[in-house]
Amino acid sequence: MKNYRIFILSIMSFLWVMHSSCQNASTKDSNIKKLSANEFESTLALDSNMQLIDVRTPEEFNQGFIKNAKNINWNGSNFETEVNKLDKSKAVFVYCLAGGRSGEAANKLKDLGFTIIYDLKGGMNAWRNANKHIEIKNAALVKEKKIEISIADFNSTINSGLVLVDVYATWCGPCKIMAPYIDEIVNEKKDVLKFLKIDNDKNSELVKFLNVDELPTIIIFKNGKRVFTSIGLIKKEDLVKEIEKNL
């Protein structure tokens, strides 16, 4: 009987620990909510105590930002100092260009004690793709960007044969990881494969045309038809398989 009671108590203790762990995990995960552009906009509109942070560089911020955003550069030296000036008891909204830096910033905000964090999924790319309003503080600060690839030139290129498209950014960590083996693939298959490398920051209209809002994005076109899309890291062997499947 005594052993039976000990067994029951052990089971109850185990269930309590599991219940507590699940509650803690749920609470921890619920601190950060990733929202689409539409959800982000509507939630902002409902929050009169809005704290909106643009974590891109000042140069990116000056090219256009979401109304009422405060620029606190995630890669700057004073990010933690500046965000600690905000009210941790109120909701904080965060965004970047494509969602990578804002995701890291959101986790940092959670660690610093912020309890309600909204992260714009896909960042400014998603915001532009959804045709949302973009503010420009001082038009004189906006630099003309060279359009490396026009939409017309892009369409002309993809309409013949097999084309590998790599949408990247110079600051994107996964893009840097993939770059060497993408170059290897392109060199190995140069006789049967065309290659377009598109800098997200210099081709905003083309990126919007392609409906890209996360980086890196790899797209394969065959005679003008989009036959494969990969978002995020993809292994070299997996990408090679997709290319060979469409030769």
Is 22 catalytic? The answer is no
d(CA 112, CA 5): 44
Six-digit token pair at 182?
């993408």
Catalytic, out of 52, 55, 92, 175:
175
Is 96 catalytic? The answer is no
Six-digit token pair at 167?
């949408």
Count of Cβ atoms closer than 10 Å to residue 136 Cβ: 12
Six-digit token pair at 147?
């359009």
Write out the H or E segment, with its range, that includes residue 243. Answer: helix 236-245
Catalytic, out of 52, 72, 172, 196:
172
Six-digit token pair at 179?
């770059």
Query: On the CB side of 49, how many CA atoms lie within 13 Å of its CA?
Result: 8
61 Cβ contact list (under 8 Å, min separation 6): 54, 69, 71
3-state secondary structure of 19: helix
Report, as residue numbers or ranges, the catalytic residues: 172, 175
